[in-house]
Structure 1
């Protein structure tokens, strides 16, 4: 692999102080983290059960980076457009359900490490992606074909990922942000979108969902603060740059506008 790599250019996919992600040919190279082996075990399980929308583990390169298969399509900032229309929103929710179902019988390896700290699966838990948003889904048109960036995977109740995703795709954001940044041509019908997502995921009711989203926003603020205080990146940088104040502003908006979702 080393000789072949030397003949191919690296295309930078993410270039952050704490992490550079590059593409070489049909592979993605990422820095190894303490939880990398646990995530690799999860990805190998997904491959074994035939889940098609996750990268495949290809080992490590001569620089010590993990090597994953590259999934072709749009992601990152380009992913937001995928969930504006109902067709894409439905497909996004079904992808999350299919992923959760594929992890139901996964047994984490002994000594499993997760980015957010020790987690022991409880009855009914799956392995949540932990950062399931449109930016971490690979899109081909309005069809989601892959899930990327597995750093925050951890055992948790399905509702954790559902509530996290709904924060961004209902979305729990004001009209100006929806139209300026999230590709909506007009203010969204948030209640309808929440119901559409939950139905596509397979939930029989939306009872308690709004509370779960708001609780999840508070949990995320607490997690960012805890990781930042421990010196983890990018959370330490986020804290220094005032990102927590932005999260707290969004949480306050959700609490005062919950009537838009119920």
Structure 2
């Protein structure tokens, strides 16, 4: 094994993360027991597309298996196949975690809560891996879908028209395999996540984030949710 550490770049990499051979070494700054348990469970389920938890090294860093591929630097322009693949990978992740939550507590799955391009590992132009589990928590599928649609579609970007984003939203929803839930519901949750991010930015003094997220929420309301809500259109089941 090559014993030279290589600082990781791309996406929104946590400070101090490095590659050592076929492993990733990540500083532990908060309690990671829940994350380690989740990754170990997914390994037992033979779920591909997430790193394996391999233990703690002598510098108190978690050891994760390295996922080969590339990570986008931030939001970008993704085609229909990439959007569909991203949604399908989230669906697989959600389905694999159903047994970890209790329905009586009002939760359905383990939510990633930050499934966007910057936390995706691409192979041959398609998102194949999920990284960065800092924000995982029990929750609802729609809550995760709302944030994911926001970031993967870049809702609020002036590069797209409302019509085009509505079309892309249906592509994303179909890729997830929606049966009873409408694209309008995903859009509504996107607005909720955008608004929450704007409020969080203000509370923590991150004015740039607050301004960006607030502007995205306003755009999404005017150009997507207001136009989808009256239709009541439900996606057909896709399996």
Give the corresponding residue for 1:198. Answer: 173
Give the corresponding residue for 1:63. Answer: 59
Could you tell me how far 1:18 is from its partner in structure 2?
Answer: 7.0
- Indicate the RMSD between aligned Cα atoms, in angstroms: 2.9
Matched, 1:212 2:189: yes
Give the corresponding residue for 2:47. Answer: 51
> TM-score, with normalisation over the residues of structure 2?
0.82
Matched, 1:90 2:84: yes
Matched, 1:30 2:26: yes
Q: Deviations over 1:12-50 (max 9, x none)?
A: 115999732111111111111333111000000100111
What does 1:1-262 align with in structure 2 at a 5 Å threshold? 8-14=3-9, 19-77=15-73, 80=76, 84-106=78-100, 122-176=105-159, 189-204=164-179, 205-225=182-202, 228=204, 239-240=205-206, 242-258=208-224, 262=228
Could you tell me how far 1:122 is from its partner in structure 2?
Answer: 2.4
Judged with a 3 Å threshold, the aligned counterparts in structure 2 of structure 1 residues 10 and 243 are, in CA distance, closer, same or farther, namely: same
Judged with a 3 Å threshold, the aligned counterparts in structure 2 of structure 1 residues 248 and 78 are, in CA distance, closer, same or farther, namely: closer
Instruction: Give SS of 1:62's match.
Output: coil
Q: Deviations over 1:89-121 (max 9, x none)?
A: 11111100000000111269xxxxxxxxxxx98
Could you tell me how far 1:240 is from its partner in structure 2?
Answer: 4.8
Distance 1:17 1:94 in 2: 24
Could you tell me how far 1:261 is from its partner in structure 2?
Answer: 6.4
Distance 1:61 1:158 in 2: 34
Judged with a 3 Å threshold, the aligned counterparts in structure 2 of structure 1 residues 79 and 190 are, in CA distance, closer, same or farther, namely: closer
Judged with a 3 Å threshold, the aligned counterparts in structure 2 of structure 1 residues 38 and 124 are, in CA distance, closer, same or farther, namely: closer
Structure 2 unaligned regions, length at least 5: 229-239
Work out the number of aligned pairs and report it.
225
> TM-score, with normalisation over the residues of structure 1?
0.76
2:3/2:20 contact within 8 Å kept = yes
